[in-house]
Chains A and B, each alone.
Chain A
């Protein structure tokens, strides 16, 4: 993945999480992966097109998702209902949009697709032809992994 893309994603993930959850956010070590990645339980996926092609996946456990959605809504949610799902979708949208805005300022043109959310156990995601950059973010409610798989159009 182009070096210029990394920082906007890391920064916007950090800023948005910190702002909406109002808590301590720690960034883990970045790394690359090309094999299939297990999905923790709840995954929000945003597609990217334009100068690049690919997608971003926001991945967290169900418990983390419920807690995050509770904090963002200011009320205790018991299960991953429609409201909770919509909240996680919104979070994914916010982070991606902010990153894309930053990239636009740097002269890269990206378009987004509306986020889709996947839930379930024992899921895996594979993007065979693109290696993924993993940005782990640790918050008090658990771990949110941001999995960015984009490549240049040749």
Chain B
């Protein structure tokens, strides 16, 4: 490695303009979040590629783990996370980095990409300007221009130096916390680890909101707590950090959230649990509101099931979704020919495209392209089927919609939420869930 560095050095020296020939400062340059930085070469032990870290639990998010450098265990810090810069996910899992030799110890840092080694005259280094955006100015020892590019020189001793370390860490944590509510007094040693866990959880909340508009509130908090522990274990095993950095990772995190059989016909045993919920029904008209019905699989399953138990009832279903593409396919849904459950069979018909739904069932359902946050024109309902919908609304809207569910439900009506959801005002509802559905009745007292 030293050879290549010297080689680049020499090449660059040849091309140097006369003015800069007197060079007494050499730095390794690299990029972070699309900007160029340099670190004093005297602090750089070597340039490295890191591939397998060992994740260490209960560390701040910027600590990616520890790494075995030829028998010596060093910590690896991700500078991008440290400075809140966007992290590009690498497919091969190999990260570019530098091994830094500080006064007291050796540490590894991850950067976007290593550029080259350049030699400059120390007199050309200018003090940093206080308005530099991404990185706190006190970690920058200077700015220098080299061949038309401005490099910010990082002061690694200040960043990771021993005396400063505790202060820095506290400072970074403070920044990471952001909107975090204040925790009531805990023992100081416990406090830090709780704080770190809390910060990571807060990050996950934020990223779920950003990538999937999934809002963590009392509606789904219980699930999040469990999922967070699972996620920690999963990611730890894979040697990855906890942060969610893309829509795919957010999907991965939410994988266990979704209720079963959302985008498919309900199988028999699942269907039977649904019928358990609707034990009695004495009226004549049974009205159902099914917001967030998607392509209509659950709407048809529910409607056919209801009619199989109460064939003489008049069923009316208002099924709506704000996904135009999904809802457009609902009225003419085509089912895969295999595994059609027996309760749905009487309502299927063989068409040109495949197995369709008969108009006998279809005529009882209104599929509407509708945004639930707009005015909902539905009558008083016997059943509201809204699985995995509320969590994807903003906290204020969640309250509003749950309130509306309460108002629109008949006194004997049933509300079905997603399997990992519950109403916010639990006092207003009585839980009547079974193994397959999270269901509630109004608490009329």
Question: Which A residues form the contact surface with B (CB < 8 A)?
Answer: 1-4, 6-7, 30, 32-34, 128-131, 133, 151-152, 154
Answer whether residue B410 sits at the interface, using C-beta atoms and an 8 A cutoff: no
A34 in contact with B367 (CB, 8 Å): no
- What distance in Å separates the Cβ of A99 from its nearest Cβ neighbour in chain B? 16
The answer for the CA separation of A3 and B374 in the assembled complex, in Å, is: 16
In chain B between 347 and 378, which residues have their CB closer than 8 angstroms to a CB of chain A? 366-371, 373-375, 377
Q: From the candidates A6, A34, A128, A130, name the one contacting B369 in the complex (CB within 8 A).
A: A6
> Which residues in window 302-334 of B have CB below 8 A to A?
322, 324, 327-328, 330-331
Q: Please determine whether A152 and B322 come into contact, CB atoms closer than 8 angstroms.
A: no
Apart from A6-B369, A128-B375, A154-B377, what 14 extra A-B contacts exist at CB < 8 Å?
Answer: A1-B370, A2-B368, A3-B330, A3-B369, A30-B324, A32-B322, A32-B369, A32-B374, A34-B373, A34-B374, A34-B375, A129-B375, A129-B377, A152-B366
List 27 interface pairs A-B (beta carbons < 8 Å), by A numbering: A1-B370, A2-B368, A2-B369, A3-B330, A3-B331, A3-B367, A3-B368, A4-B367, A6-B369, A30-B324, A32-B369, A32-B370, A32-B371, A32-B374, A33-B374, A34-B371, A34-B373, A34-B374, A34-B375, A131-B370, A131-B371, A131-B375, A133-B369, A151-B377, A152-B366, A154-B377, A154-B379
Closest partner residue, chain A, to B366 (CB atom): A2
- Rounded to whole angstroms, the CA-CA distance of A4 and B327 in the bound complex is 10
Q: Taking each of A1, A131, A151, which has the highest tally of chain B beta carbons within 10 Å of its own beta carbon?
A: A131
- In whole angstroms, how far apart are the Cα atoms of A72 and B306 in the complex? 54
Q: Which residues of A contact B375 (CB under 8 A)?
A: 34, 128-131
**CB–CB A1/B368 < 8 A:** yes
8 Å CB contacts to A: which residues of B14-73? none
Taking a contact as CB atoms under 8 Å apart, the answer to whether B374 and A131 are in contact is: yes
List residues of chain B with CB within 8 A of the CB of A154. 377, 379
Complexed CA–CA distance, A34 and B376 (Å) = 11
Complex CA distance for A33 and B369, rounded to whole angstroms: 11
Interface residues on B, range: 10 to 19
The 9 closest A-B pairs by CB, nearest first: A34-B374, A131-B374, A3-B367, A32-B371, A2-B368, A3-B327, A151-B377, A129-B375, A1-B369
Looking at the assembled complex, report how far the CB atom of A13 sits from the nearest CB atom of chain B, in whole angstroms.
Answer: 16
Q: Residues of B at under 8 Å CB distance from A?
A: 322, 324, 327-328, 330-331, 366-371, 373-375, 377, 379
CB distance from A34 to the nearest CB of B (A): 4
B324: chain A residues at CB < 8 Å are 6, 30
CA distance A34 to B367 in the complex (A): 18
- Cβ-defined contact, A2 with B377, below 8 A: no
- Chain A residues within 8 Å of B379, by CB: 154
Cross-chain contact of B328 among A6, A34, A128 (Cβ < 8 A): A6
**In whole angstroms, what is the CA distance A129 to B377 when docked?**
8
Chain A residues, Cβ within 8 Å of B373: 34
Q: How far is the CA of A100 from the CA of B176 in the complex (A)?
A: 58
Which chain A residues lie closer than 8 Å to B369 at the CB level? Answer: 1-3, 6, 32, 133
Min CB distance A84 to B, Å, is 34
Q: Give the residue name and chain of the A residue nearest to B359 (CB).
A: A107
Complex Cα–Cα for A128 and B375 (A): 8
Note all chain A residues with C-beta closer than 8 A to B331: 3-4
Q: Are B328 and A152 in contact (CB under 8 A)?
A: no
Enumerate chain B residues within 8 angstroms of A30, measured Cβ to Cβ: 324
Give the complex CA separation of A30 and B328 in angstroms: 12
**Residues on B with beta carbons closer than 8 Å to the beta carbon of A130:** 375, 377
Smallest CB gap from B321: residue in A:
A3
Write the nearest CB–CB distance from B372 to chain A, whole angstroms: 10
Provide the bound-state CA to CA distance between A4 and B368, in Å. 8
CA distance A133 to B374 in the complex (A): 12
Most buried by A among B328, B331, B375: B375
How far is A130 from B374 in the complex, measured between Cα atoms in Å? Answer: 8
Q: Which residues of A have CB within 8 Å of B377?
A: 129-130, 151-152, 154
Q: In the complex, which of the residues A4, A129, A130, A133 has the most CB atoms of chain B within 10 Å of its own CB atom?
A: A4
Q: Which residues of B contact A133 (CB under 8 A)?
A: 369
Q: Which residues of B contact A3 (CB under 8 A)?
A: 327-328, 330-331, 367-369
Q: Which of A3, A7, A32, A151 has the most CB of B within 10 A?
A: A3
* A152 CB contacts on chain B under 8 angstroms: 366, 377
Cα(A130)–Cα(B371), bound, Å = 11
Q: How far is the CA of A130 from the CA of B327 in the complex (A)?
A: 19
Q: Which residues of A contact B330 (CB under 8 A)?
A: 3
A133 CA to B322 CA, complexed, in Å:
11
B374 proximity list for chain A (CB < 8 A): 32-34, 131
Taken together as a complex, chains A and B put the C-alpha atoms of A131 and B372 apart, in Å, by 10
Q: Which residue of B lies closest to A33 (CB)?
A: B374
A2 and B328 contact, CB distance less than 8 A: no
Q: How far is the CA of A128 from the CA of B374 in the complex (A)?
A: 10
Measured between beta carbons, the chain B residues less than 8 angstroms from A4 are 331, 367
A7, chain B: closest CB distance, angstroms: 8
* Closest-CB distance, A150 to chain B (whole angstroms): 11
Chain B residues within 8 Å of A1, by CB: 368-370
Chain A residues with Cβ under 8 A from B370's Cβ? 1, 32, 131
